[in-house]
Amino acid sequence: MAEKKEIRHAVLKRREQMPAEDWRRFSDRICKSVMELEPYKQADCLLLYVNFGREVDMAPLFRDAWRKGKSTAAPKVLGDGRMEFYEIRDFRELKPGFQGILEPVEGTAVLTENRASEEKGASAENAALTGNTAFPVENVFMVMPGVAFDPYGSRIGYGKGLYDRYLALHPGLLTAAVGFECQIVPQIPAGPYDKKPDWLITEARSIHCGSSFM
């Protein structure tokens, strides 16, 4: 089985060579498939990444969510290496941040560690004072990127572990990983701290990887 570093290098090369026309067409198809998922339809808040390079374009999902009155939040990498999500209502609320990726300029954190603590018994007043938005985890749906995936839901990111750590802090959060068919490999070596998505969506198929939510 190939090592993660080798898989990452090979798949990134394939993905970045994708013609722009295919990237736009496949991204639109993937976003439409995500919109058909029940957790997406039922969510009050969506945690969506801001695409970089040839990652699946998230603009259709942001716009669809805003039309439907859903809250949206985008990730921001903090100085200590943690990732947090902040509400945005317009693409103009983004600016280049970590590694040149667009991030929220400012906003209200959604489902932070403090929010997770509140769910375990801390007071709602404390949560309000920290600037958190009170979206219970069951009303939130995350769409996450990745470099490579296998048909069983194992995923390779960019090697920072940002999503794995975030999901470990928010158990029960339903997720869909999105990628192109050129990013699918036969098998990925999974580590003990790797978090699988509940769905894997490509331009050609939707794979249910986990959770009992159908």
Residues 77-114 pLDDT 10s: 987 878 999 999 999 999 998 889 999 986 677 764 44
CB of 189 within 8 A of CB of 204? Answer: no
CB of 107 within 8 A of CB of 87? Answer: yes
Inside any domain, residue 213: no
Inside any domain, residue 214: no
Q: How far apart are CA 33 and CA 52, in angstroms?
A: 21
Give the annotated binding-site residues: 4-8, 50, 55, 155-163
pLDDT at 20 over 60: yes
Mean pLDDT, the chain, rounded, equals: 86
Inside any domain, residue 165: yes
Q: Output the pTM of the full model.
A: 0.86
pLDDT at 22 over 70: yes
Largest Cα span, the chain? 51
Give the annotated binding-site residues for ATP: 4-8, 155-163
Per the structure, the complete domain to which residue 46 belongs is given by 4-208
Inside any domain, residue 140: yes
- CATH number (domain holding residue 13): 3.40.50.10420
The total domain count for the chain is 1
pLDDT at 57 over 60: yes
Give the annotated binding-site residues for substrate: 50, 55
What tens digit of pLDDT does each residue of 23-38 get? 999 999 999 999 999 9
